[in-house]
Amino acid sequence: MNTLFNHNQIVYSLDTSSLIDAYRKLYPMDNFPSLWQDIENLIRQDRLIMSEFVFAEAMQDKFLDNWCTNKKLKSQLELKIDNLDQIAVRDILADYPGVLKVKKGKSLSDPWVIAVAKRYFQNVVIVSEEKLTGNLQFPRIPDVCKDSNIECVTISGLIQKEDWKY
């Protein structure tokens, strides 16, 4: 169960791209077992979360689904959506309607990643591998973050923020 409200440490709202890029391209689990143990620990500490919608998207990846199942991480990684999340997403879409890129292969979960940060702004950092485009008409997560003064980092940035050494 998430205890997001019970501590003052940074909580990370995770985009699906970060986990997928991390294990597929950047930090394969076989080569970086300590990193993946640290990621697992952040999840267990309720400091690395995905909104329910983003979590569902991530679990479509069989490797991630198996990893989360085997490590028994699902209940802590998934942040259940409530009415306040839905209101936050509605507001995000009103301000940034182009964030939903309704094209084949594009994610519809981006507003949900941002909604977590909008709701818990004091201590939430977004983690996404998307790149800043500077285009607010069709923004990516980092564009909305920059425009909304929300910190957004990559997995590498998370490693730096947590001061992990390998």
DSSP states of 104-142: TT--S-HHHHHHHHHHTGGGEEEE--PPP---SSS--HH
pLDDT value of residue 104: 47
Please report, for the chain, the start and end positions of each structural domain, with discontinuous segments joined by +. Answer: 4-161
CATH superfamily to which 4-161 belongs? 5'-nuclease (3.40.50.1010)
What does the pLDDT look like over 79-107, one tens digit per residue?
Answer: 998 898 899 999 999 999 998 875 545 56
Which tokens is 156 given? Answer: 């590498």
What does the pLDDT look like over 61-70, one tens digit per residue?
Answer: 999 999 999 9
